[in-house]
Structure 1
């Protein structure tokens, strides 16, 4: 596909475009100046040639005329014997005029040629100078870009701290630093909330579960046995929800430390843990983890990531369905059978507390599995994508850099 010059120019770096603008403006100004000079030179030469007069006189042999020259009138004398001389003078005048015109054209061509060569060389030098000036002008922007790349959730204390005159770039850097101050305060507040919620929310649930188990211990009347089981189930689901929310908040904060994690071994362990759930749902799980795959990351978070992918494939399936997991050199793929998932609604599955209606709305689960998986993948600089499976269900691909 052919690209327009504007599209090609838009793909160049800003510094190259700025240098090209310098060069183009200088070239246009030089062409306009050269055209102006050539037109004036042509007009002035024509005026000078029209004002020239060629004089002839009857001077003594070898003597120059002492008085002013008389302009030659190209008219034939009255006597016929002077006609050849007049014709010779007219031919001489025409020859002189042609010679002057040829010299004028040659001079103009040479002037245009060498002026054009000089203009191109000067335009090239102007482009180089524009490149250097653009680099000097954009140096603060480059330093701001490098500093912004180094700033993340783990080092929000770092600032651009641009030095120099109080100009537009300096004010832009100060605005970024002010925004980073607000972000640092927000993340610190979130970290404190996660640390406090881990204790303040989980402890009462543990006390509640213990009280239910002790206070409603056997023997119980038949009517209270079902009530106890319902209360314990609600308590367990609330605890799972809190754990999922805390895990989501932890993965959103990024990684504090990494180590090499064997995903093949982790996948086999996860599959073994989920085997009872798969057998209960009547789903066959097939794992191809012969290819070794080691990635740097948090082993706990990566285990939760694979667990959420496999559990999601088992939970949203139909009896007699299957789940296939496969590892290759850089990716993990999990496919399952099940209800058809519209492609336009797949992005909704990665949002917290979002589930599709109908068959994908289960009695258990909170709609956090894929959102947690996507957050953990992003923390490990990996990408998690999904598309409808050929046999229904989803095909999830986790690709590491």
Structure 2
């Protein structure tokens, strides 16, 4: 049977007291056994007197009594140590019980609850802080999952409803020409839905298989060639997948051209990272809102007809696969700045 944490702490406390006590008794017994007791005796005589100076060993009877008394005292001390250890162990694990209670509250569905710890910044405090960080991340992930499910269901439900409506209209009219036109429109809607599903599959299976040394400056100039996008690129080399990095940069540039104006691209090396900054003008944006644009389908819900909303999500996945990151920030004069960081 496994002992509880409180019982294990108590056992360790008792074992420590017992072990130290036995060692001390052994040392005292050995000292008394091996060390003779000195004595000095003076016997008066008609002359100057007789002085006897010597040492005698302690008798076995005295040693037995000392050993018995020591063992009895140690037994009583061990029992008291067990009671004290149980009480002290309860005080030690009390913060852990409070943490467990708060965690159970979260488990019951209250995702807003957090670990309340008012003690010092010790190991228990570090544990509480780490759990709160984990709960924040978990709540954020669940919220993103909820938004993804909502956005994905809306995005995938729309073509199905559109096809259903067009089919009903075509069947009601009974006209051959109308039926042919409807089939053409159904094919277009179905193609867009297939593109969305293909993008979702690509997002779920971002895999670096062709990592190699590549010149980011040449890549950026090649992507923006023939487009009205100014480029300021320093020579930076990274070990990455040319296919995925090209797709990420193309998505950022296309996003800037589609949703903004006066797009520009800047490539610099900052510390150990290569930074590709794609900026575009436009209306003032809210920081909290643009943070959600990295989530699949999030932006598609706000910009109808401007894509399936997976471009920035795919760029973020590619950046993370390379050990980098994607950061979206609003520009002071309006518009958006997207920063793709890759280890250089």
TM range (shorter): 0.3 to 0.5
| TM-score where L is the length of structure 2 | 0.45
Which structure has the larger Rg over C-alpha atoms?
Answer: 1
Length-normalised TM-score, structure 1:
0.39
Q: Larger % of strand: which?
A: 2
